[in-house]
Chain A
Amino acid sequence: MNETPSKPAMSPVKVEAIDPLDSAVLDMPRQAPRFNVLSAIQNDQPHAPAIHPSVAHGKGIVEIKDFSLYYGPKKTVHSVSLSIPVGHVTALIGPSGCGKSTLLRSVNRLNDLVDGVRTTGDILVGGESVYAPGTDVIDLRRRVGMVFQKSNPFPMSIFDNVVYGLRIHGERRRSVLEEVCERSLRGAALWDEVKDRLQSSAMGLSGGQQQRLCIARAIAVEPQVLLMDEPCSALDPIATLKIEELILEISQKYTVLIVTHNMGQASRVSDYTAFMYLGRLVEYGPTSHIFQTPTLPETEQYITGKFG
């Protein structure tokens, strides 16, 4: 860990490019860019994440504000602040167990289901607080769609799956349901494959098709944000490729926040990338910046597979 080769020409260039008003960046050690941040994190000392100025404006569709989460006594997310730009794909990367899923599931308050969860700080979705006392969680989850690691179609027909969200929110008109079903399935690049068997069970679809069906189900209610937790990790390479294409396509209309374990995937599908480590945000910026000229050597080390 400590025998990192120092990176010539990297840190001076980078730091100059950064908004001098961003105190988090200014606080960073300029001269000795070793694994200071990671060792600080490991020793539970305060550290300053490297935030690229392009995402430091605080006008994101999702604003994570000094958010911490505890599973019982165990602090799993440590004061993360993150601004997710609207209309783009943002990837969360980091070693397994660093709290990516936990952070993602905090956005639609799915962690409410877990016993003994406590949070501090707040998250805003479309300007509305997620954790304020009077929050309508049902409405929040309607505005924030989610696609899971393991595809989870409901044991009903393809059609009923896609319109599930509309139905539980009270839409009964057949014509509306049919229209939304077709639009969502087209949006999920699944229409041509299933249009002749909308009434057959969704459980009969292949793994990749099931995952695209779950995406169709999520976008059927036109969410403001789409959360994806390693949506391809259970799929074969071809199905993965299709989902990646789909994510790129979807990002024209939706904001996507995706957790991925796969560096290649993050670089292919995302516009912005946040690197997390042990529940902390380490570096956040445009994907090209993170993958080609990261501010911190730690980030570069992780991305090139030297640890994690």
Chain B
Amino acid sequence: MDDSSTSLSDDGSRRSRRRRLLTFADGALLWGARSSGVLVLLMLASLVVVLAAAAWPSFRAFGPGFLTSSEWRPNELERPMRNEAGQLVIEDGETVMEVVPPEFGALPVVYGTLVSSVLALVFAVPLSLGAAVFLVRVAPKWRIAGPLSFLVEFLAAIPSLAYGVWGLFVLAPLLQDRVEPLLRSVLGPVPGLGWLFRETVEVGGQVVTRDIPLTGRDMLCGSLILAIMIVPIITAISRDVLKAVPRVQIEGSIAMGATWWQSTWSMLRYSRSGLAGAIMLGLARAAGETMAVTMVIGNNNRISPSPFAPAQTMASLLANEFAEASSTLHRSALLQVALILLVMSLFINILARWLVGGSQAHAAAAH
């Protein structure tokens, strides 16, 4: 009896030493985790601060008008001066020239970003949800869910440059030579759709209406590339969200006599906030995507209602101009665009995470 009790206390002290060590390791890990968390926050904060500081000159020069102006002119402009009546001012028989300072307005790129991202969603969402439903409800029966899921995740990992090159050499020529002429011949004559293919521009001081030259490198091509790029991420997250639907929910609707489509609809309905989150994450990705879009969107800082006209997004503007920005104001304006993009992405991401997280907690509670 005595023997066993000493060995027991020995054992006890060894255990308590061990426990102390573990407590220390726990504490160290906790602190490590906390400080990396803080570090990430600090990085984000410093990013915002640095961008805001760099954007300050532009903000001071243009104020809130930066968001509503369509003029993006990095160089100063020399042009004939006109008086209030709009007539040329002539002195000593010569037209007087005036120099207009550079001007920056972000409206076209904000518009380009929003429209290209939303169009991308229009193309990508049905495809992604269809693929996710297939992965969750059909593929397991055929035992191809594993390989297909891998494929989807692989697509998400392809560098955007690769998509861009493909867009430039395959998609854009295809659009230019086949799809867009076909669309023009079919939709062009439809009353009320003329704006799709015609534009009003100022050429050499004259306002003319003409056919939009179909180049294949336009808003449509940019949106399609974006759609292809965000399909994998929306599919993967939607798949996880749909997988989290409790079995008893699906069985519940099937036991009521729901058809395959009706029970699928119940599933989608059950996970709607998670799916909305998946779509928002896709949107955030589309809004921030740079390389591929820059290669195919046509890079024209003009607002055109037609998807067949070249356009520009915030990210593609930065990619195009940042390296060559010579003046402080130009660079500052570009950084202000970057700041707008950052804040926008941040909001979309937070909203998306909140939606996805909420739906998963919801599903977990129902399990």
Contacts and interface: CB of A to CB of B under 8 A. Distances in A.
Nearest to B246: A152
A231 interface: no
A75 B269 CA distance: 36
B361 to A, nearest CB: 13
A142 B257 contact: yes
B248 A148 contact: yes
A202 to B, nearest CB: 12
A231 to B, nearest CB: 12
A17 interface: no
B253 A113 contact: no
A110 B266 CA distance: 17
Contact of B270 (A113, A155, A218): A155
Interface in B121-143: 140-141
B255 interface: yes
A148 B253 CA distance: 11
Interface in B238-276: 246, 248-259, 262, 266, 269-270
Nearest to B258: A168
Residue of B249, B253, B256, B258 with highest tally of chain A CB at under 10 A: B256
B257 A156 contact: no
A208 to B, nearest CB: 16
Contacts of A108: 255
A192 interface: no
Contacts of A139: 257
Size class of the contact patch on chain B = 20 to 34
Contacts of A152: 246, 248-249, 251-252
A155 to B, nearest CB: 6
A115 B141 contact: yes
Interface residues of A, number: 26
Nearest to B252: A152
A110 B251 contact: yes
A1 B250 CA distance: 42
A138 B259 contact: yes
Nearest to B259: A138
A145 interface: yes
Contacts of B259: 138, 168
Given A115-B141, A138-B259, A168-B262, A154 B253 contact: yes
Contact of B257 (A154, A155, A214, A221): A221
A115 B253 contact: no
A65 interface: no
Interface of A: 108, 110, 113, 115, 138-142, 145-146, 148-150, 152, 154-156, 164-165, 168-169, 214, 217-218, 221
